[in-house]
């Protein structure tokens, strides 16, 4: 129900080496991808009458995942001009006696914002004081820039933090649907019960593959991270030459988020190719933007051709 | 979110050929196994303040799957002496204005009871009259004895029935975690939304494998069914020679359920081997029972050795 022992052991080892947090197999639950891990965390931690604070912008599935538990999602506005960083005073004001958790996602999808150690330490302190859980969606952790800090690496975070991750980004195993939580042991008892009626565990061969992947060195993650950083630099360069375009945030995950004149372009900078799309109905700009990307990113010609002409 | 089109098409074709119910891809949702399909059905059909009638005995995960939705499970007692068949009058009495659904499982796990066409027609009529959904867990359908009747094959069942099945029993693909619902289209919209935040779909290669399996002839299911029937006959023979042992029901699924003196033995009759276990602390009887099974089922010697000496 909690996953294969070998896989859970490997997850615990990887998590501990990445964060320094002392964990064992007993802290790990395996789920059908990070989305399922978030869903399970929501069902087990939250309930009707509780609130979850979610800094804006947030991943598209968060509202539904929170709502399913009966809890109320409280979006926390963040300042575009400050790179979508969390204002600690605003966060403190948003906390009420009903606040059960704050849901963090650094590097952020879609803004690319990465929260600093200082900010995260303030958040941990605030959450301890108010008995609020931290749900930390860290699926981009292993391909994030060097300045990324895991919440669970901070003093005082151990017993109030649920870290969610997967092999999707670090090992390019997105389609394998293998994610997990690292949490206090007490939560694992709840996850066990939930998994018994929610899905009855993952296919053994998928767990074997994930366990094997985690036993290898971090070569794949490093390759992905380095490609992302290169692509990110290319996109930044392209944007710097575009009238009216600038980055809102530094693009720490797989995304950069930027305005292009009166439109908004979200550029996904992934390991093998770059995809680009724009929300505003501005065909001229879209074409210009994509053609510039096309010139810069040789390896993505096919993809960009599809988008430009598609 | 609802599953790969090819797989959903194949499920619709197989369901239609098995039941005669006119369905298409639009009626099918794919989930991580039948358990996950039941869980999703529970979340989408039920809610706080509603009741679900579940005939006894029932599969171990049903209470939790119902409770997660906020609904109340109403167990419906059935008569051991009548082979755990549903008493239609008792069912009618159990229906209240809060009844949202009845959860059926024929062939039943663990009793092995198979509901007759006549009984199921009465249930459909009753459910139509009272606007009650039928959730029909039919995972054993394709390996069931010939007298098995699918609820969805009955007149008037179409728009009130959710049929749950998988490739676990019919194609021995239990560990692959691939199940589905066949339901009115309106429910599929709910399943789409749920899947978006619950699990984000199944691995593509698992769906490919299941789609391929369903495209083959029904040889595997027939092999499994025939082996089950043979093993069932062996176990019945063994039991008929045991003092105080007789079958409660005919063992239509993978199980027979019987009393052995003052203990209860549940005998799992599966396609490759037979497992046996007893609940009562009666070592002498357990040994006798297992040794008799051992003599009768040559192919299961290793398994039975493990159990007898383990």
- How is chain B split into domains, by residue range? 5-215, 220-309
Q: How far apart are CA B16 and CA B23, in angstroms?
A: 6
Judged by a CB distance cut-off of 8 A, whether residue B189 touches chain A is no
In B, minimum Cα distance to A177 occurs at B203
Residue A162 clears pLDDT 60, i.e. is over it: yes
CB count, 10 Å around CB of B200? Answer: 19
Q: How far apart are CA B250 and CA B114, in angstroms?
A: 8
Residue A136 clears pLDDT 80, i.e. is over it: yes
Average pLDDT, chain A: 83
pLDDT of residue A15: 96
| CB-based contact B199 A64, cutoff 8 Å | no
Q: How far apart are CA A23 and CA A211, in angstroms?
A: 17
* Cα-to-chain-centroid distance, residue A271: 16
Helix count and strand count (H, E) for chain B: 10, 10
pLDDT of residue B295: 61
Judged by a CB distance cut-off of 8 A, whether residue B164 touches chain A is no
| CB-based contact A199 B36, cutoff 8 Å | yes
Beta strand ranges found along B221-273 (DSSP E)? 255-260, 263-269
Judged by a CB distance cut-off of 8 A, whether residue A203 touches chain B is yes
Judged by a CB distance cut-off of 8 A, whether residue A173 touches chain B is no
Provide, as residue numbers in chain B, all residues whose Cβ is less than 8 Å from the Cβ of A32: 32, 177, 199, 202
Q: How far apart are CA A63 and CA A74, in angstroms?
A: 9
DSSP, collapsed to helix, strand or coil, labels residue B103 as strand
Residues 22-41 of B with CB under 8 A from A: 32-33, 35-36, 38-39
Report which of B177, B208, B182, B211 is spatially closest to residue B31, judged by C-alpha positions: B177
Q: How far is A246 from chain B (nearest CA, A)?
A: 32
Non-local (6+) Cβ contacts of B121 within 8 A are B154, B155
Q: How far is B167 from chain A (nearest CA, A)?
A: 13
Question: Choosing among B4, B31, B32, B196, which should be mutated to test the A contact, i.e. which has the most A CBs within 10 A?
Answer: B32
Judged by a CB distance cut-off of 8 A, whether residue A192 touches chain B is no
Residue A206 clears pLDDT 80, i.e. is over it: yes
Judged by a CB distance cut-off of 8 A, whether residue B59 touches chain A is no
Answer for the pair B66, B46: CB distance below 8 angstroms, yes or no: yes
Report which of A140, A144, A43, A156 is spatially closest to residue A100, judged by C-alpha positions: A43
Nearest-CB residue to A202 (from B65, B177, B200): B177
Length of chain B: 310
| CB-based contact A64 B177, cutoff 8 Å | no
pLDDT of residue B22: 97
| CB-based contact B64 A175, cutoff 8 Å | no
Judged by a CB distance cut-off of 8 A, whether residue B177 touches chain A is yes
Residue A208 clears pLDDT 90, i.e. is over it: yes
Angstrom distances, CA of residue B121 to CA of A65, B101, B166: 39, 16, 24
Residue A161's beta-bridge partner residues? Answer: A134
pLDDT of residue B289: 59
Give the β-pairing of B274-278 and B263-269: antiparallel
Residues lower than pLDDT 70 in chain B:
238-251, 253, 256-310
Q: How far is B242 from chain A (nearest CA, A)?
A: 35
Judged by a CB distance cut-off of 8 A, whether residue B68 touches chain A is yes
CB count, 10 Å around CB of A130? Answer: 13
Judged by a CB distance cut-off of 8 A, whether residue A209 touches chain B is no
Nearest-CB residue to B200 (from A35, A198, A200): A35
Judged by a CB distance cut-off of 8 A, whether residue A61 touches chain B is yes
In B, minimum Cα distance to A33 occurs at B199
Size of interface A-B (CB pairs under 8 A): 75
Non-local (6+) Cβ contacts of A135 within 8 A are A38, A41, A42, A45, A52, A101, A102, A103, A104, A161, A162, A164
Residues A214-235 have a mean pLDDT of 80
Q: How far apart are CA A130 and CA A163, in angstroms?
A: 19
Provide, as residue numbers in chain B, all residues whose Cβ is less than 8 Å from the Cβ of A33: 199-200
Residues A167-187 have a mean pLDDT of 93
Q: How far apart are CA B36 and CA B40, in angstroms?
A: 6
| CB-based contact B61 A199, cutoff 8 Å | no
Residue A275 clears pLDDT 60, i.e. is over it: no
First CA to last CA across chain A, in angstroms? 44
Answer for the pair B279, B57: CB distance below 8 angstroms, yes or no: no
| CB-based contact A200 B61, cutoff 8 Å | yes
Question: Choosing among B197, B209, B210, which should be mutated to test the A contact, i.e. which has the most A CBs within 10 A?
Answer: B197
State the Cα torsion A295-A297-A299-A305 to the nearest 10°. Answer: -60
Helix H or strand E segment including B240: helix B219-240
**Ranges of H-type helices in B68-218:** 88-94, 117-129, 185-198, 204-215
Judged by a CB distance cut-off of 8 A, whether residue A281 touches chain B is no
Judged by a CB distance cut-off of 8 A, whether residue B281 touches chain A is no
DSSP string of B7-23, one letter each residue: HHHHHHHHHHHHH----
Judged by a CB distance cut-off of 8 A, whether residue A194 touches chain B is yes
Answer for the pair B252, B112: CB distance below 8 angstroms, yes or no: yes
CB count, 10 Å around CB of A278? Answer: 17
Encoded tokens for A187: 């939560």
Q: How far apart are CA B262 and CA A189, in angstroms?
A: 34
pLDDT of residue A62: 95
Helix H or strand E segment including B5: helix B5-19
Residues A55-66 have a mean pLDDT of 92
* Residue tagged 């037979």 (tokens): B274
Nearest-CB residue to B198 (from A39, A200, A201): A39
Q: How far apart are CA A199 and CA A106, in angstroms?
A: 28
**Confidence bin at A251 (pLDDT 50/70/90):** low
Non-local (6+) Cβ contacts of B297 within 8 A are B231, B234, B273, B274, B304
**Among the four given CATH numbers 3.20.20.70, 3.40.640.10, 3.40.50.300, 3.90.1150.10, the one describing domain A5-215:** 3.40.640.10
DSSP symbol at B245: B
Average pLDDT, chain B: 83
Judged by a CB distance cut-off of 8 A, whether residue B64 touches chain A is yes
pLDDT of residue A234: 73
Residue B99's beta-bridge partner residues? Answer: B51
Provide, as residue numbers in chain A, all residues whose Cβ is less than 8 Å from the Cβ of B175: 203-205
Answer for the pair B183, B21: CB distance below 8 angstroms, yes or no: no
Nearest-CB residue to A36 (from B68, B198, B204): B198
Provide, as residue numbers in chain B, all residues whose Cβ is less than 8 Å from the Cβ of A176: 203
Q: What is the pLDDT of residues B232-252, one digit of tens each?
A: 777 777 666 665 566 666 667
Answer for the pair B55, B80: CB distance below 8 angstroms, yes or no: no
Q: How far apart are CA A227 and CA A222, in angstroms?
A: 8
Provide, as residue numbers in chain A, all residues whose Cβ is less than 8 Å from the Cβ of B37: none
DSSP string of chain A, one letter each residue: ----HHHHHHHHHHHHHHH-----GGGEEEESHHHHHHHHHHHHH--TT-EEEEESS--TTHHHHHHTTT-EEEEE---GGGTT---HHHHHHH--TTEEEEEEESS-TTT-----HHHHHHHHHHHHHTT-EEEEE-TTGGGS-TT---GGGSTT-GGGEEEEEESTTTSS-GGG--EEEE--HHHHHHHHHHHHHHT----HHHHHHHHHHHHS-SHHHHHHHHHHHHHHHHHHHHHHTSTTB--SS---SSEEEEEETTEEEEEEE-SS-EEEEESS--HHHHHHHHHHHHHH-GGGHHHHHHHHH-
* Residue tagged 């039975």 (tokens): B304
Q: How far is B44 from chain A (nearest CA, A)?
A: 10
């Amino acid at each position: 129900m909690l996953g294969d022992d070998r896989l859970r052991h490997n997850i615990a080892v990887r998590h501990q080496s990445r964060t320094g947090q002392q964990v064992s197999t007993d802290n790990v639950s395996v789920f059908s991808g990070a989305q399922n891990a978030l869903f399970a965390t929501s069902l087990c931690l939250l309930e009707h009458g509780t609130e979850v604070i979610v800094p804006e912008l947030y991943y598209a599935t968060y509202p539904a995942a929170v709502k399913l538990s009966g809890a109320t999602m409280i979006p926390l506005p963040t300042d575009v001009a400050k790179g979508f960083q969390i204002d600690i005073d605003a966060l403190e004001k948003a906390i009420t006696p009903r606040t059960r958790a704050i849901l963090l996602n650094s590097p952020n999808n879609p803004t690319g914002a990465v929260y600093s150690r200082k900010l995260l330490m303030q958040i941990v302190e605030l959450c301890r004081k108010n008995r609020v859980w931290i749900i930390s969606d860290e699926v981009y952790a292993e391909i994030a820039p060097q300045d990324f800090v895991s919440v669970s690496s901070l003093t005082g975070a151990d017993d109030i933090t649920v870290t969610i991750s997967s092999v999707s980004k670090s090992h390019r195993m997105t389609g394998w649907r293998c994610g997990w939580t690292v949490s206090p042991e007490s939560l694992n008892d709840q996850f066990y019960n939930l998994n018994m009626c929610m899905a009855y565990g993952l296919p053994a061969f998928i767990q074997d593959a994930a366990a094997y992947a985690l036993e290898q060195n971090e070569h794949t993650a490093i390759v992905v991270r380095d490609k992302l950083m290169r692509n990110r630099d290319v996109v930044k360069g392209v944007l710097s030459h575009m009238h009216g375009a600038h980055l809102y945030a530094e693009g720490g995950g797989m995304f950069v988020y930027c305005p292009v004149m009166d439109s908004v372009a979200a550029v996904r900078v992934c390991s093998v190719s770059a995809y680009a799309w724009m929300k505003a109905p501005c065909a001229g700009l879209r074409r210009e933007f994509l053609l510039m990307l096309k010139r810069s990113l040789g390896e993505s010609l096919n993809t960009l051709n599809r988008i430009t002409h598609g």
